Structure 1
Amino acid sequence: MDVLSETIAAIRTGDPTSGLFVRHAPWGRAYPVVPGTGFHVVLHGSCWLIPPAGDPIDLRAGDVVLMPHGADHVLVDSLDTAVTEQAHPGEPREIPGPGIRSELMCGAYELGRRRSHPMLEELPDFIHLPAHPSRHAALRGVLDLLAAEIAEPRAGTDAAIATLLETLVLFALRAWFEDQAPTSTGWAAAFTDPAVTAVLRAIHAAPERAWTVPELGAIAGVSRATLGRRFAATVGEPPLSYLTRWRMLTAARLLRDTDTPLASVAHKVGYQSEFAFAKAFKREYGLAPGRYRHHEDDSAAVAV
């Protein structure tokens, strides 16, 4: 069971949105807060990302920046350039000018409003992954394929770009977690701790099972006390608390994306009765499972 892939799939809804933007210096573009995870890929040229707080980030061709919480920010060709654009649906994809040309792919991944996960919550507002030929080869490969599809659209390009964008967020997060590994804490440390990883995989693979701490400790190969300490230090909560969280996330995904009957959803996430499941689900999401399934405003649509 791939914990990172499963986690992203559980909180994602719909397909990623994206757009190709070509700007000629001077240019400055403001991006408002979005209810999802935003991203920028610099395909050609360079620019600066100015966050609400902190130092500006110098972006070069091949760089990727991920905004896990959809934070507002500004992109400019130069720190001396004023902001003259506001990101909005339907805006021109290319704005001519006398200066240097920059080409960016900008977009966002839709997230369920009521679904969250501690892995995503602990990520910084801006994840900058500079282009480097000797690092993160898989991520570089995805970027090369994206650039090729954008430069020469052919039959199947729309589907290819959608698939590559799905892969982009996973590879970007994997690259960031790998970069954090030498001094890792939190979830970055969880992915490098074999005992914690083993328990996470077991829970993700079988959320319906009535797990006990001794059983999970046996899988991890450590004592109950050691597992509890290491799991809480990295994941942020005890193993059985995380089990409940994952059950609810899995149930929300099944309710949103499938027609599985409520009783079957309950059994798939470890509840013997539909009533007990409904009570636990409403406590977590504030809606009964049936109402959640048909609630039209759960996903956060993002325009670019």
Structure 2
Amino acid sequence: MAPQIPTGADPLTELLNGVRTVGAVFNQSTLSGTWAVRFEDGSPLALAVSLQGPVWVLPQDGEPVLLGPGDVAVLSGGNPYMIADDPDAEPGVVIGPGGRCTTVDGQDTRTTQGPGSTVLLNGLYTVDHGVPGQLLAALPALAVVRAGQGPCPISPAAFEDITRPEPGRQVMLDRMLDLMLITALRSWFTRPGAQVPAWYRAHGDPVVGPALRLLTAGPAHPWTVEALAAKTGVSRAALARRFTTLVGQPPMTYLREHRLALAADLLREPGATVGAVAGKVGFSSAFALSATFKKVRGISPSEHRTSETRAKD
């Protein structure tokens, strides 16, 4: 039986629904004088918030952006970046995997805590826990949410309380990072003039929106354009034409890429087999998934999983 069209769903909820971290790394630094911190942690998503004073965010392949107090920077893709008091400053500290803090020559150190003119808060998502691939694909390398665009759900006082070394501290940090990220992304995706993917905008269409929700709700169902058209109440040709115009690709191409994105996320999970993942995302066998994955992504599912494991290490 084909899935029923989900009601009450919105594209932002679907996009953010899988955002959940385990083992969040937070760092609050109090800085003064001339300083620069380079981040090489490889986190697929990271947050930077200036709690006090202006800071510059310098993505590896982008223009420097100035953050004021309360502004939130969301960095995606895992590429190195730098945060500094001046865009021309040289880094003195490097943040590596797991939040390890070293000097530029690899000696363990720590950022300063004490009086200073700048207070910087960083939250890092661990590489080995699910950040949906569709979310990463929808984000630029650097998305900035200005203080006036949306409320910050965590006050500095609340952060100080949560970070005390007491029972339950880590799970509170994890949920706090999720809440901060979701709040920031909600403001970013819904801001006036937001540049969002075509499929995101297409969710508001009375024909294509329900079709997208059906594909999202039941990726393992053996969909055809005819079956999808019957569910949405239009002809096969009308659905194919409207879907392609609004989303930028035909329905079955979108479904294939959605299934592969889900497979890539599921393959990160410990103990996941290619055969089990294939069944969950709508491929008839491990061979069918492997062949399509290799054709579209250039590597096999096993190679993808190995590369993810190496990234974690």
The answer to whether the Cα contact below 8 Å between 1:45 and 1:101 also exists between their aligned partners in 2 is yes
- Equivalent position of 1:241 in the other structure: 253
CA distance in 2, matches of 1:217, 1:122: 26
TM-score between the two structures when normalised by the length of structure 1 = 0.74
- Of structures 1 and 2, the one scoring higher in RCO (CA 8 A, sep 6+) is 1
Matched, 1:50 2:74: no
The aligned counterpart of 1:70 is 78
CA distance in 2, matches of 1:205, 1:177: 22
Aligned mate of 2:27, from 3, 13, 19: 19
One-letter amino acid of the structure 1 residue matched with residue 112 of structure 2: I
SS at match of 1:244: helix
Q: How far apart are the structure 1 equivalents of 2:206 and 2:155?
A: 31
Aligned to 1:297: 307
Answer whether contact 1:196 1:230 (CA < 8 A) is retained.
yes
CA displacement, residues 209-246 of structure 1 (integer Å, 9 cap, x when unaligned) = 12122333344455545544554455442211121122
SS at match of 2:223: coil
The aligned amino acid for 1:90 is C
Is residue 39 of structure 2 the alignment partner of residue 31 of structure 1? Answer: yes
2 CA distance for matches of 1:151 and 1:198? 43
Alignment counterpart, residue 121 of structure 2, candidates 85, 104, 107: 104
Asked whether the 8 Å contact 2:30–2:114 carries over to 1, the reply is no
Matches of 1:278 and 1:238, distance apart in 2:
22
- Report if the CA contact (8 A) 1:278-1:288 is conserved: yes
Residue 169 (1) aligns with residue 181 (2): yes
- Aligned partner of residue 307 in structure 2, secondary structure: coil
Q: 1:189 aligns with which of 185, 188, 201?
A: 201
Instruction: State the 1:24 CA deviation.
Output: 2.1
The two structures, once aligned, show a CA RMSD in angstroms of 4.0
2:228 equivalent to 1:216: yes
Query: Is the 2:150–2:187 contact (alpha carbons within 8 Å) kept by the matching residues of 1?
Result: yes
Match of 2:101 among 67, 79, 90: 90
Deviation at 1:170, TM superposition (A): 3.1
Structure 1 equivalent of residue 136 of structure 2:
120
For 2:87 and 2:267, the matched residues in 1 are separated by 47
Change (3 A) 1:156 1:225: same
Unaligned residue ranges in structure 1 (runs of 5+)? none
Which residue does the alignment assign to 2:150? Answer: 136
Residue type of the partner of 1:276? Answer: A
Question: Is the Cα–Cα contact under 8 Å of residues 207 and 269 in structure 1 kept in the other structure?
Answer: yes
Instruction: For 2:158 and 2:246, locate their aligned partners in 1 and report how far apart those are by CA, in whole Å.
Output: 34
Structure 1 residues 106, 68: CA separation in 2 closer, same or farther (over 3 Å shift)?
Answer: same
* Mapped contact 2:36–2:82 kept (Cα < 8 A): yes
Q: Distance in 1 between matches of 2:129 and 2:297?
A: 11
2-side partners of 1:84 and 1:183: how far apart? 35
Once residues 248 and 297 of structure 1 are traced to their aligned partners in structure 2, the CA distance between those partners, rounded to angstroms, is 16
Q: Please state how far the C-alpha of 1:47 moved relative to its aligned partner.
A: 1.2
Q: Is the 8 A contact 2:28 2:122 kept in 1?
A: yes
Shift of 1:286: 5.4
Contact 1:248 1:281 in 2 (8 A): yes
Cα deviation, residue 20, structure 1: 2.6
Give yes or no for the alignment of 1:207 onto 2:224.
no
User: Match of 2:260, SS?
Assistant: helix
Return the TM-score normalized by structure 2: 0.72
**Residues of 2 paired with 1:174 and 1:244: CA distance?**
27
Compared with structure 1, are the counterparts of its residues 124 and 300 closer, same or farther at alpha carbon in structure 2 (3 Å cutoff)? farther
The one-letter code sitting in structure 2 at the alignment partner of 1:159 is V
The alignment partner of 2:257 has SS state of helix
Matches of 2:116 and 2:76, distance apart in 1: 31
Aligned-pair identity (%): 29
